[in-house]
Amino acid sequence: MPLKLTTYYHGSDIPELPGNNTFHSIELFHIYEATPGYTPLLIVASEAEKPVAKLLAAVRKSARLFPPAIIKRCEVYGTGEYFDETIDKEFVFGEMLQRLTAEALREAFLIEFRNLENSLFGYKSFRKNHYFAINWLRVRNSLHSIEHVESRFSPSRIRQIKKGLKNGAEVKEAHTPEEVHAFSQMLHHVYSSKIRRHFPSRVFFLRMEEEMMKGEQSKIFIVTYKDKIIGGSACIYSEDSAYLWFSGGMRKTYALQYPGILAVWYALFDAKQRGYHHLEFMDVGLPFRKHGYREFVLRFGGKQSSTRRWFLFRWEWLNKLLNKIYE
């Protein structure tokens, strides 16, 4: 039976679709669509008018200092979601990948597939479309096999959490648009000093509150001190896992309250309380380079493992060169 591919560029055109993978959800499409600097596209594969798979991608503006430039990059989290266990998933992914590559390279200079659950899935399709792979690292905390999340923390990390709370810091879930707005302002200030970390428009978090938090697909946690937000974290939830997407704190101004540490601790605590099997930290860096954020989160007791990311540039000669380097 022939496979039909449909590409959607506007949320209002997307029909009701099955699935529970947040990274390929209509809700995340709407968030991207409303956020300045983002352009989402959703590819839906169907057989006999019945959807069998979908793949969500987002093209966003990316500033680079070396060389100075603003480029557009297309990011995909995972390799799509599949609704029919009888289909050939590798074949369907290959067809969706070919369509996405053609569509995205009209706007983007670079396509990147990240956070792959199975780093071997789609290998032949990626190679066929001239993508190259770079080894990456992931850090995950297992939550289902322990009674308390703190049981795997380093002793110094536990002392810092206790000191932060004793020194007047409080942690809670954000519930109002005002709290979400203040959280995004604080985090934008924190991220602006880190030139290698991407931070979306504040609209992203306000739309996250509108689209996902009511259905508990996402949560924002805030660390406060004397009614001022000094830290926080943003998580999304997909299937049996939690993902910490953004976190930070005003650690220099409020060193005694340890806001960044409390923000991560509470995200782990909440995920455990709600029965998620794992919490994964997003974007912990390359395996052959020191990464301050990775070192920071590993002290919460997570384990690091190898994975890969797939990349494709618009310039064919550059892909050929990098394919030879990373064979």
Residue 66 has a pLDDT of 46
Higher pLDDT, 293 or 280: 280
Residue 59 has a pLDDT of 95
Amino acid at 122: G
CATH class entry, domain 4-129? alpha beta
Closest-CA residue to 197 (of 247, 264, 231, 251):
247
Closest-CA residue to 39 (of 56, 58, 21):
58
Residue 237, pLDDT above cutoff 90: yes
Tokens of 276: 């998620």
Residue 74, pLDDT above cutoff 60: yes
Tokens of 92: 């369907």
Rounded mean pLDDT, 255-274: 94
Q: What percent of the chain has pLDDT over 90?
A: 60
Residue 213, pLDDT above cutoff 80: no
Residue 68, pLDDT above cutoff 50: no
Residue 306 has a pLDDT of 85
Rounded mean pLDDT, 298-319: 88
> Where does the pLDDT of residue 84 fall: very low under 50, low under 70, confident under 90, or very high at 90 and above?
confident
| Radius of gyration over every alpha carbon of the chain, rounded to an integer in angstroms | 20
How far CA 225 is from CA of 43, 235, 291, in Å, comes to 45, 21, 29
CA distance 321 to 84: 38
Q: Cβ of 244: how many Cβ atoms within 10 Å?
A: 23
Q: Which residue reads 């994975």 in tokens? A: 307
How far, rounded to the nearest angstrom, does the alpha carbon of residue 206 sit from its chain's CA centroid? 17
> Where does the pLDDT of residue 193 fall: very low under 50, low under 70, confident under 90, or very high at 90 and above?
low
Rounded mean pLDDT, 21-32: 95
100 near 108, Cβ under 8 Å? no
Q: Between 259-273 and 155-166, two packed helices, what is the crossing angle to 10 degrees?
A: 100
> Where does the pLDDT of residue 1 fall: very low under 50, low under 70, confident under 90, or very high at 90 and above?
low
DSSP assignment of 35-76? STTEEEEEEEEEETTEEEEEEEEEEEEEEEETTEEEEEEEEE
79 near 121, Cβ under 8 Å? yes
CA distance 184 to 233: 10
Residue 65, pLDDT above cutoff 80: no
Q: For the chain, give every domain's residue range.
A: 4-129, 139-306
DSSP H helix total and E strand total for the chain: 9, 13
3 DSSP assignment: -
Residue 44 has a pLDDT of 97
Mention every residue, 6+ apart, whose C-beta is less than 8 A from residue 276.
Answer: 143, 237, 240, 241, 242
CA distance 319 to 295: 31
Q: Coil, strand or helix: which one is 123?
A: helix
Residue 111, pLDDT above cutoff 70: yes
246 near 199, Cβ under 8 Å? yes
Residue 322, pLDDT above cutoff 60: yes
How far, rounded to the nearest angstrom, does the alpha carbon of residue 313 sit from its chain's CA centroid? 21
For the ranges 74-83, 201-210, 244-253, the maximum mean pLDDT occurs at 74-83
Residue 171 has a pLDDT of 96
Query: 104-108, 167-171, 202-206, 265-269: which range is least confident on average?
Result: 202-206
Superfamily of domain 139-306, CATH level 4 = Gcn5-related N-acetyltransferase (GNAT) (3.40.630.30)
Rounded mean pLDDT, 70-79: 91
pTM to 2 decimals?
Answer: 0.91
Residue 209 has a pLDDT of 85
Residue 25, pLDDT above cutoff 90: yes
> Where does the pLDDT of residue 166 fall: very low under 50, low under 70, confident under 90, or very high at 90 and above?
very high
Q: Coil, strand or helix: which one is 146?
A: coil
CA distance 300 to 282: 14
4-129 and 139-306 share one CATH topology? yes
Residue 109, pLDDT above cutoff 80: yes
Rounded mean pLDDT, 63-69: 53
pLDDT, the chain, mean: 89
Ramachandran assignment for 168, one of left (phi > 0), alpha (psi -120 to 50 degrees), beta (any other): left
Residue 290, pLDDT above cutoff 80: no
